A and B are shown apart, each in its own frame.
Chain A
Amino acid sequence: MEDYSGVIVYGEIAGQKLASTTCELLECGRRLAEDLGHSLACVLPGELPPNVVEDVAARGAKTVYTADMAGASVFDAEAHLAVAMAAVKEARPAIILVGHTALGRQLGPRMAFRLGTAVTTDCIDLKVDPDSRRIVMTKPVYGGNALVDLVATTTPQIATVRPKAMTAGEPTSDNRATTVPLMVKVPTPQVVLRDRVIEEVVGVKLEDAPAVVSGGRGIAGPTPFTTVLKDLAEVLHGAVGASRPACDNGWAPEAMHIGLTGKIVAPELYVAVAISGASQHMAGCSGSKTIVAINKDAEANIFREATYGVVGRFEEVLPAFTAKLRELLAD
């Protein structure tokens, strides 16, 4: 175990730049490396858009591992697993950080089992224990009804980190990184891709929206999602989301699902309409700056989570709320 040192981040690219989750991981990794007196490295798999290596360096990485993925898809976990294993073999890191993203949710556990070590998934905080010099990994459990602090007894220590749970740092210009190309043999995929269907989202992207208006079980049908909820979202220049019951009932597409197993959002304003506020839903929106709740049940858990609330039927509250907002925002 002694010869394992350093923190390595498994990077992801989104829309021709570093994924925001990767920026958050790099800041967290930089802090951990500093506390341990270790150095920070980053893996950047596949074809890279310009300036990404420089960006990673400016965020504190001393070494950047690149790998030719031979055209493997961003969703091809087996190819990424091969890259990650090559990077670990080369870098022998003490700590591996992966985003709790579509890719990372699969990559983290598979890496851990392949390496014979442990991973803690969906972490919201990581810090160095000053006595043991191991990392204490904090993750929500029981759908967010509790938190647990875990320490791995095996090395490397692996964590997948929940997007938006940590803040990205500002890049500083003076750091330079050494680039190390990894020799990776991308395996013939065992899982063969036949077709891919992307459900186009019109308007503002949910994860980037400054305001999100979400509907839950109490909406009781598909229509409000395309009428009153959409109207409010438009006034706020935001996007419409939904809780899992609303998606499971087919009232809203899965792409709109916010929660533990859906998307994670952290807008300036989150309006929860007819949402009870189950912990599993709050896991997807608790990072929002202000949460506003509209619910007819005064005892609903959402009123424990919200800053402002109205107790009433959404059919009556929402149109007046939207109309008044439109008036105020027009001024």
Chain B
Amino acid sequence: MPELSMIVCCKQTLDPEAPPASFKIDPATKRMTLPTDIKPVIGQYDEFALEAALRLKASVGGKITVLSLGNKLVRDVIKKALAVGGDELVLLEDAAFEDSDSWTTAYALSLAVKKLESYDVIFCGRQSSDWDSGQVGAGLAELLGLPLVTLARKVEAIEGGLRIEQVIPDGFQVVEVQTPAVVTVTSELGNLRYAVLKGIMAAAKKQPIIWTPADLGIEPSEVGAAGRRLSLSRLYQPVKEARCEIVAGETPAEAGANLAARLREAKVI
């Protein structure tokens, strides 16, 4: 089996596991914020995508290029992709890339992919961990004219292509696709492996390659906020009243029985 040249798209996001109450909107910038002590992360679904690439690399060998888009990306966050086994980090990093929507993100990434020339597979997470849009994988496939397999839970190399287990409602299906192809990965694939010390040391020494809109041959007006096709009119948090009625009892078991009685009383059951 020939070695595979792989690209994994990773987005730096706010930590989705942060306590819900800690998410606060900055009304001036219409952006979500978290307290500064909660570090950003690589989106959880992008981590599964990276794990899919690492498993393929372990089985047939090859090279993993990690691609990320944003501005002022936190080096030790994004370099985790190198520490776990990614070979090369390419950052589309510029103020012009800020506040991208799915369109501008996929468009800029597609140009970066073309600039990278040789690739067999592009892996993306099924959706980002902040906007949950799930569009970049599909967008790349359309813009680059490549086949798309979504919701992969297992990816294996076969002669000339990939065999993929794809999650469908109430089950999965096995599909085969020729490379180059775009594959989006879902959580069932499994968690990203931990970085070992050797990997962390090697990642610290590697410098990311940085590309601006000019490097991609496009105007700043075509990317980021300026190129958006969806205008953000309002970002807000619905007010939730804590109205839960706690049913008590002398013992947990009694509380359980009282809960049943309360549900009957309230005509819930």
Interfacial residues, chain A to chain B (CB-CB below 8 A) = 75, 77, 102, 105-106, 109-110, 112-114, 117-122, 136, 139-143, 145-154, 190-199, 201, 236, 244, 247-248, 254-255, 260-261, 263, 268-269, 278-280, 290, 292-294, 298, 301, 303-313, 316-325, 327-329
Contact A317 B252 (CB under 8 A): yes
Q: Which of B103, B249, B262 has the most CB of A within 10 A?
A: B103
What is the CB-to-nearest-CB distance from A117 to chain B, in angstroms, rounded to a whole number? Answer: 7
Q: Which of B23, B127, B242, B249 contacts A303 (CB 8 A)?
A: B242
Contact B252 A140 (CB under 8 A): no
Interface residues of B in 220-253 (CB under 8 A from A): 228-238, 240, 242-249, 251-253
**B199 lies within 8 A of chain A by Cβ:** no
Contact A118 B229 (CB under 8 A): yes
Residues of A close to B25: CB separation below 8 A: 146
Contact A151 B231 (CB under 8 A): yes
Q: Which of A119, A290, A316 contacts B251 (CB 8 A)?
A: A316
Given the known interface contacts A141-B131, A320-B256, the answer about A195 and B235 at a Cβ–Cβ threshold of 8 Å is: no
* Cα A261 to Cα B45 with chains together (Å): 11
Contact A244 B187 (CB under 8 A): yes
Contact B243 A153 (CB under 8 A): no
**B210 lies within 8 A of chain A by Cβ:** no
Interface residues of B in 157-192 (CB under 8 A from A): 163, 167-178, 181, 186-188, 191
What is the CB-to-nearest-CB distance from B187 to chain A, in angstroms, rounded to a whole number? Answer: 6
29 contacts between A and B (CB under 8 A): A77-B150, A106-B138, A112-B103, A112-B135, A118-B101, A120-B230, A122-B134, A142-B16, A145-B32, A146-B236, A149-B235, A150-B230, A150-B231, A151-B231, A152-B229, A190-B147, A191-B147, A191-B176, A193-B173, A195-B174, A199-B171, A248-B191, A292-B259, A309-B247, A311-B255, A317-B253, A320-B256, A320-B257, A328-B261
Interface residues of B in 9-45 (CB under 8 A from A): 14, 16-17, 19-21, 23, 25, 32
Contact B261 A75 (CB under 8 A): no
Given the known interface contacts A308-B259, A320-B254, the answer about A199 and B229 at a Cβ–Cβ threshold of 8 Å is: no
* Cα A316 to Cα B250 with chains together (Å): 12
What is the CB-to-nearest-CB distance from A32 to chain B, in angstroms, rounded to a whole number? Answer: 17
Residues of B close to A141: CB separation below 8 A: 32, 130-132, 235
**B260 lies within 8 A of chain A by Cβ:** yes
* Cα A279 to Cα B127 with chains together (Å): 16
Residues of B close to A105: CB separation below 8 A: 134, 150
Residues of B close to A306: CB separation below 8 A: 244
Contact A320 B172 (CB under 8 A): no
Residues of B close to A147: CB separation below 8 A: 235-238
* Cα A292 to Cα B163 with chains together (Å): 43
Q: Which of A118, A139, A301, A325 contacts B103 (CB 8 A)?
A: A118
Q: Which of A119, A236, A260, A323 contacts B257 (CB 8 A)?
A: A323
Name B129's closest neighbour in chain A (CB-CB).
Answer: A143
Name B19's closest neighbour in chain A (CB-CB).
Answer: A301
What is the CB-to-nearest-CB distance from B231 to chain A, in angstroms, rounded to a whole number? Answer: 5
Contact B253 A194 (CB under 8 A): no
What is the CB-to-nearest-CB distance from A124 to chain B, in angstroms, rounded to a whole number? Answer: 11
Q: Which of A195, A201, A254, A278 has the most CB of B within 10 A?
A: A254
What is the CB-to-nearest-CB distance from B122 to chain A, in angstroms, rounded to a whole number? Answer: 14
Contact B167 A254 (CB under 8 A): yes
Contact A310 B187 (CB under 8 A): no
Residues of B close to A197: CB separation below 8 A: 171-174
Contact A307 B229 (CB under 8 A): no
Contact A261 B252 (CB under 8 A): no
Contact B187 A248 (CB under 8 A): yes
Q: Which of B14, B148, B259 contacts A106 (CB 8 A)?
A: B148
What is the CB-to-nearest-CB distance from B166 to chain A, in angstroms, rounded to a whole number? Answer: 8
* Cα A325 to Cα B134 with chains together (Å): 42
What is the CB-to-nearest-CB distance from A12 to chain B, in angstroms, rounded to a whole number? Answer: 11
Given the known interface contacts A269-B268, A309-B245, the answer about A316 and B256 at a Cβ–Cβ threshold of 8 Å is: yes
* Cα A279 to Cα B22 with chains together (Å): 12
Residues of A close to B268: CB separation below 8 A: 268-269, 290, 292, 308
Residues of A close to B168: CB separation below 8 A: 75, 102, 196
Q: Which of A145, A269, A307, A321 contacts B245 (CB 8 A)?
A: A307
Name A323's closest neighbour in chain B (CB-CB).
Answer: B257
Contact B245 A113 (CB under 8 A): no
Residues of A close to B253: CB separation below 8 A: 316-317, 319-320
* Besides A197-B172, A278-B20, 4 new A-B residue pairs in contact (Cβ under 8 A), listed by A number: A105-B150, A153-B230, A304-B20, A308-B247
Contact B167 A110 (CB under 8 A): no
Contact B262 A308 (CB under 8 A): yes
Residues of A close to B228: CB separation below 8 A: 153
